[in-house]
Structure 1
Amino acid sequence: MSKSNQTYKELAVPHFTEVFDIIDGVMREFSVPYYMIGASAIALELLKDGIKPSRGTKDIDFAMMLSSMKEFEEISKALEQRGFRKAKAPWTYLYEKDDVVIDLLPFGEIQENDTEDFNKRNSDLHIIGFQEVLENPSRIPIEEKWVNIPPLPGMILLKLIAWSDRPEARENDLADILRIIEHYYDIEFDKIVAEHYDTLDTDDLDERTVASEVLGREARVYLNKSDRLKETIYTILKDNLTEVKLSSLVKHWARQSGEEVEYTFGLLKAFQRGLLKNEENSE
């Protein structure tokens, strides 16, 4: 069995093959660039390196680059003709089999060309960072197809923003970030040695701390593209790095990992340190 076939089956999302084939077909029909985001995208990236998903999900999230609300409505109609039905949120659909939840998040020119209509319909939709992170996506094989997903450093930014919007309902976003940190050192060891060797020059080497700082360094390129994205991320970090015992983010990581809260505070601090490294000289 090929590695891509294993990836396809081991993703363990109900009806994933069927749903993905429909989404792929519709997006190709309308010549719309699309990207898988969220937990399924992280699972695909990790499966590429032989790491199995830690949690199952019936949600599959996509981002699609659109130019107008008319284009969004045409795609919506095409999906309904293929077995999807709309949910309450305008970007959420349910697949007729097993009620698989699909989020299709629009971004791109639609935000500028139909600003008033877009904002009115999508007032609860937060897509800060999509344009910057998805500009250079990772490509992952799924059997005979390829899917674009956010690079892991960019995924952390998107997850932080999603969590900060509704922290009481999105603890899984924090779990996904921690999972990236836990595996990034092994996945990108060669890159760390070649490009970030200074993070290894310490007497008390901790792989997750190194991973956090390197992820921050790699994510900095996205912040340099958008002042709004930079301000949003810096605010989230500031709010959760003021005092250890007041940070809901690091307390959640501590509960999940079994580590002391001071340790998980250090992980977040390392990520911030990576983002800020040589900021004044970055382009």
Structure 2
Amino acid sequence: MSLDLSQKADLVPLAQVVGSLQRVAQPMDVDFFLMGAAARDVMLRHVHNIEPGRQTQDVDFAVMVPDWESFAALRAALIEGGDFSERPGPATHRLRHQSGLPLDIVPFGGVERADRTIA
């Protein structure tokens, strides 16, 4: 099933983040998808017309990388591209889009152990 949400004005900020992420990730051959509460909220609100009870403050994207070096390169390229900046704290997966929207990039793929935990 494919959904056309392109005419949803309240999704423009999210679309800007996706575009910025795509401009960097695509040339690096990194696939990604929206996950977590933001994905839930999009489905509830725009597909089922249900207002989610609690609003999330950030958006989470899963990024498929073959190893930690690729994750580090993606993160560095996102920041160097100018649309993203680091967020304070030790967590390297937390960034902020130039629009002010905070996001987390969560690696999966080659960084996982056989038991599906992150190495």
Tell me whether the two structures share a fold, i.e. TM-score over 0.5: yes
Q: What is the CA deviation profile of residues 169-208 of structure 1, one whole-angstrom value per residue up to 9, with x for unaligned ones?
A: xxxxxxxxxxxxxxxxxxxxxxxxxxxxxxxxxxxxxxxx
**Residues 52 and 9 of structure 1: CA distance in aligned 2, closer, same or farther (over 3 Å):** farther
Question: 1:214-243 CA deviation, whole Å, 9 max, x = no partner?
Answer: xxxxxxxxxxxxxxxxxxxxxxxxxxxxxx
Cα distance in 1 for partners of 2:53, 2:9 equals 15
Large movers: runs of 4+ above 3 Å: 52-58
Residues 205-216 of structure 1 mapped to structure 2, 5 A cutoff: none
Alignment of 1:264-275 (within 5 A): none
Partner of 1:249: none
Q: Is residue 94–residue 105 contact of structure 2 (8 Å, CA) maintained in 1?
A: yes
CA–CA distance in structure 1, aligned partners of residues 20 and 70 of structure 2: 17
Distance 1:106 1:27, change over 3 A: same
TM-score, normalised to structure 2's length? 0.74
In the alignment, does 2:83 pair up with 1:83?
yes
Structure 1 gap ranges (5+): 113-126, 131-283
Q: Find the partner of 2:38 among 21, 37, 40.
A: 40
Deviation by residue 1:89-137 (Cα, 9 ceiling, x = unmatched): 1111122333x2110011111235xxxxxxxxxxxxxx85x9xxxxxxx
Aligned partner of 1:96 in structure 2 is 98
Distance 2:4 2:72 in 1: 37
Larger radius of gyration: 1
Rate the CA distance shift 1:109–1:18 in 2: closer, same or farther, 3 A. Answer: same
CA distance, structure 1, for counterparts of residue 97 and residue 6 of structure 2: 23
**28, 35, 54: which one pairs with 1:30?**
28
Q: Secondary structure, in 3 states, of the residue corresponding to 1:58?
A: coil
CA RMSD of aligned residues (A): 2.6
> What whole-Å deviation, never above 9, does each CA across 1:122-169 have from its counterpart, x for those lacking one?
xxxxx85x9xxxxxxxxxxxxxxxxxxxxxxxxxxxxxxxxxxxxxxx
Question: Are the structure 2 counterparts of residues 9 and 84 from structure 1 closer, same or farther at C-alpha, using a change threshold of 3 Å?
Answer: same
| CA spacing shift, 1:108–1:3, aligned 2, 3 Å | closer
Shift of 1:9: 2.7
Q: C-alpha separation between the residues in 1 aligned to 2:71 and 2:52? A: 31
Taking structure 1 as the reference length, the TM-score comes to: 0.35
Deviation at 1:72, TM superposition (A): 0.9
Cα distance between partner residues in 1 of 2:54 and 2:18: 19
Percent sequence identity is 25
More strand by share: 2
The answer as to whether partners of 1:22 and 1:82 remain within 8 angstroms in 2 is no
Partner SS state of residue 106, structure 2:
strand
Would you say the 8 A contact 2:20–2:83 is kept in 1?
no
Return the alpha-carbon distance in structure 2 between the equivalents of residues 53 and 28 of structure 1: 31
Count of aligned positions: 110
Change (3 A) 1:55 1:5: farther
1:25: how far off? Answer: 2.3
CA contact (8 A) 1:65 1:108 kept: yes
The 3-state SS of whatever aligns with 1:29 is coil
Looking at structure 2, the residues matched to 30 and 3 of structure 1 have their Cα atoms a distance apart, in angstroms, of 26
Structure 2: gaps of 5 or more residues? none
